[in-house]
């Protein structure tokens, strides 16, 4: 399937939102560049997973991880992580899916921008899905194990967000090691919990976030992305101990 790319500066077109609502972008050649991307399969998947119960969101994430793994990871990385590509794809080729699944985009322009035109970075659900799918698919061949690791990402999403926030941690070895450490030590609930009695850290600080913060702060003195799992586990527990009593955690 040919995916025609929008011209540079498309986000600055004043009529973009109204044209999206009226389904007038696809037929307007003024929107398009001369560039195209070709994809064999273009199945829809959840692109915004902020609402609903925990189980509903887990189901949505799993659907997205698996769809991206099987249908989009074969794209060149320069396209896969291109904001220009995804915005073109969503605005034109997934308009009906988006309106059906996220009808709030028709309510006001801010919701539209937050769901459809969001910057492709660590806060964007598509970006989260792509990196997670890529790291797990590259590292794990067994399908059951892939599903297990997808589940671990979902169960530890807050910490995962902070891992992919920092460029130095964006690699499959580090992510797999961190997920294994959390799983082996049963740390998921602790890491998601808010830190109490530390007003100096802010109103919504979590133990997992602080561990990643400390790992980032110590780099490059401590090359945590390159450590073995056992060495990383020791450092992880040490940094967690800055904020939490780890005396009962056995490494």
4-61: pLDDT as tens digits: 999 999 999 999 999 999 999 999 999 999 999 999 999 999 999 999 999 999 999 9
- Nearest alpha carbon to residue 251 among 182, 189, 190, 194: 182
DSSP summary character for residue 38: E
Kindly state whether residue 240 falls inside one of the protein's structural domains.
Answer: yes
Kindly state whether residue 127 falls inside one of the protein's structural domains.
Answer: no
Q: Residue 173 in 3-state DSSP?
A: helix
Kindly state whether residue 7 falls inside one of the protein's structural domains.
Answer: no
Kindly state whether residue 46 falls inside one of the protein's structural domains.
Answer: no
Kindly state whether residue 211 falls inside one of the protein's structural domains.
Answer: yes
**In which band, very low, low, confident or very high, does the pLDDT at 203 lie, cut at 50, 70 and 90?**
confident
Kindly state whether residue 145 falls inside one of the protein's structural domains.
Answer: no
pLDDT tens by residue, 168-193: 999 999 999 999 999 999 999 999 99
Per-residue buried b or exposed e for 106-124, using 16+ beta carbons within 10 Å of the residue's own CB: eeeeeebebbbbbebebeb
C-beta separation of 179 from 152 below 8 A: yes
CA angle 60, 177, 61 (to 5 degrees): 5
Kindly state whether residue 95 falls inside one of the protein's structural domains.
Answer: no
Kindly state the average pLDDT of the residues 140-163.
97
Say how many domains are in the chain.
Answer: 1
DSSP summary character for residue 7: P
pLDDT tens by residue, 81-135: 999 999 999 999 999 999 999 999 999 999 999 999 999 999 999 999 999 999 9
* Positive or negative torsion for Cα 54, 59, 62, 68: negative
When computed from its CA atoms, the radius of gyration of the chain, rounded to whole angstroms, is 20
pLDDT of residue 2: 96
Kindly state whether residue 50 falls inside one of the protein's structural domains.
Answer: no
d(CA 169, CA 152): 17
DSSP summary character for residue 13: -
Q: How many CB atoms lie within 10 A of CB 99?
A: 15
d(CA 124, CA 48): 8
Domain range enclosing 199: 157-251
């Amino acid at each position: 399937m040919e995916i025609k790319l929008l011209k540079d500066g498309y986000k600055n077109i004043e009529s973009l939102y109204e044209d999206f609502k009226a389904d007038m972008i696809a037929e307007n050649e003024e929107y398009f560049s001369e560039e195209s991307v070709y994809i064999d399969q273009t199945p829809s998947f959840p692109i915004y997973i902020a609402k609903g119960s925990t189980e509903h969101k887990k189901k949505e994430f799993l659907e997205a991880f698996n769809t991206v793994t099987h249908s989009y990871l074969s794209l060149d990385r320069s396209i896969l992580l291109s904001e220009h590509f995804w915005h073109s794809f969503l605005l034109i080729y997934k308009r009906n899916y988006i309106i059906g699944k996220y009808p709030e985009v028709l309510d006001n322009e801010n919701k539209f921008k937050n769901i459809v035109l969001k910057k492709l970075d660590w806060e964007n659900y598509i970006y989260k899905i792509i990196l997670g799918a890529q790291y797990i698919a590259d590292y794990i061949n067994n399908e059951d194990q892939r599903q297990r690791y997808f589940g671990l990402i979902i169960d530890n999403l807050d910490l995962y967000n902070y891992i992919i926030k920092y460029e130095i941690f964006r690699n499959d070895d580090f992510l797999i090691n961190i997920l294994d450490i959390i799983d082996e030590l049963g740390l998921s609930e602790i890491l998601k919990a808010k830190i109490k009695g530390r007003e100096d850290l802010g109103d919504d600080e979590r133990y997992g976030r602080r561990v990643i913060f400390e790992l980032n702060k110590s780099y490059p003195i401590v090359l945590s992305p390159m450590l073995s799992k056992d060495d990383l586990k020791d450092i992880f527990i040490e940094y967690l101990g800055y904020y939490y009593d780890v005396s009962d955690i056995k490494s």
